[in-house]
Amino acid sequence: MNSLTHLPHDHDKNIQNVLNSMPESKKFSEAASLFQQLGDGTRLKILWFLCHSRECVSNIAAAVGMSKAVVSHHLQLLRKSNLVTSERIGQEIHYSLNNTREAELIHQAIDSIFDITCPK
């Protein structure tokens, strides 16, 4: 909660409530770093794929049409953001969407936006 802030102009009678309910800057940074994972086309493609299948790196790379090194790199980023998890099975490492509330929200957001972008 913030203390009373004074804005240069007075347009919105309810502005003080908005200012009071504004999260701290740190929260915005945290949330932004989550959304940032969706802000790259190749990573979004990988993430979309993992929303619909659990697969090894080679298969993901083949499915999205990118090199294994690039896919591996982006998978690390997604893993650091806790959006995906990995499990070694023999010589392969299988990746899947993480079972967290954040990952589920992202999953929903991706589904929603592709309903928009790709109307059937």
Interface positions with DNA (CB under 7 A): 8-9, 36, 39-40, 42-43, 56-58, 66-70, 72-77, 86, 88, 90-94
Which residue, among 107, 56, 46, 112, has the nearest Cα to 78 in the 3D structure?
A: 46
- Amino acid identity of residue 64, one-letter, is V
Query: Which token pair is 101?
Result: 């509330």
57-64 vs 68-80: helix crossing angle, rounded to 10: 110
Distance of alpha carbon 83 from its chain centroid, rounded?
A: 7
Closer to DNA by CB, 31 or 115: give it.
31
| Residue 87 within binding range of its own copies, rule CB under 8 A | no
| Residue 41 within binding range of its own copies, rule CB under 8 A | yes
Contacting positions for its own copies (CB under 8 A): 5-9, 11-12, 14-15, 18-19, 21-23, 25, 27-45, 48-49, 52-56, 58-59, 62-63, 65, 92, 94, 101-102, 105, 108-110, 112-114, 116-118
